[in-house]
Chains A and B, each alone.
Chain A
């Protein structure tokens, strides 16, 4: 088992023929992902790493049975691409694209919910279930099959943490990048619920950062519903208020979203906190 993506994920890549699309279709295929189709309007009939390209998502779904979409299209076309995927019946959508207008994300996040679909991102590195499937731009080399579930608002910081887990021999069930934007589909709470149900997952690592109150809400959720051990790292303890720290969502606004408040909430929920990102692996090792 794993969460959200596994051996049954049949992936269509929207934005398949661009530089990113071509590169990552290759990377995903060598990880073992079932990439069944690509979509680029006007490019039907082409192939990318032997994957057939279609003009639209519904053609791709009809021809290949794709059930998961990876969105790599530029920001201004992203909303349309997500709507298209959902209307074609896709039930898991992973949105990598950065700099999507917040109002667009707000609309497609609600439309995904209305369609009972899982939407991951936007502005995220994607999701990987080692040994099964990787959908996104995460580097395949850092993963190892195992029992730690990882959910994160960050990209490179997540790779660093996953890599340090691997160096300690701690493999992962699924690693999901939730995205660095203020409006995202899948949240810490959604990931925690899925990991709680997943038999393969024995412990959960959350990588949070300043901005918003997702960590505080997940801490309350952990107290109530999560029995598995949870570990966390919060980035941005020293970030000044009012500045966007690289991610659109990493901003302390109106006194909300400080690292101190998140750390406090996690302590109350008995979540073990790491001071440095690479310490997480030590904590998980000690407690398992």
Chain B
């Protein structure tokens, strides 16, 4: 988790309880200032919480709307200072619970990365495949990007066309055979999905010699319960990731589009 995100998480209870503590201090020392000034800490804490909810891939609508509640609760003055203090304390407890809820139920914030770099396992994989991408013509890498993006968008009918173009452009190049195989797997599976055909008994898959270039290990060739063959899905995930890495490394012009789809690619890296 990024260090800045942890600081923001700490800032929520710090600001909210801090404002309540300040209100208690002012009240006990007989300072006659409007106690609503201290409530500003609760409002700031709500905005920080809303920001933490916003940067997560899964949005928590409760945390996102806390600034609205903060303004509603603290805009109108309460007559009794004790009531303001109790309200601030209860609000601080609520915000702290919401931070814990956000962390446990809505996952980690999206990885913040520098322009032109990939985060996490996907970045490591793209780096690993980088030397093998040297022999791929940029036009073929562009086709890899388009095929990947079309598949990610569920436009399965267009994928085989792009894949066949990619295979033609790879012919005679120094690119490893695994890239051609990735195009073939993607074309085959996209065609089957587009035509709503069932999984075939026999299908195109990577050879064991391709394994050093693959992101996920090849499963053993045996069927699981109810005849489920995990090799079929593994072949597709590996093909998509290999084409993503090829496009990332050999077609810099496509990186902007690939970044937009990197969350999908990141999910594929988890087997």
Decide whether A and B assemble into one complex: no
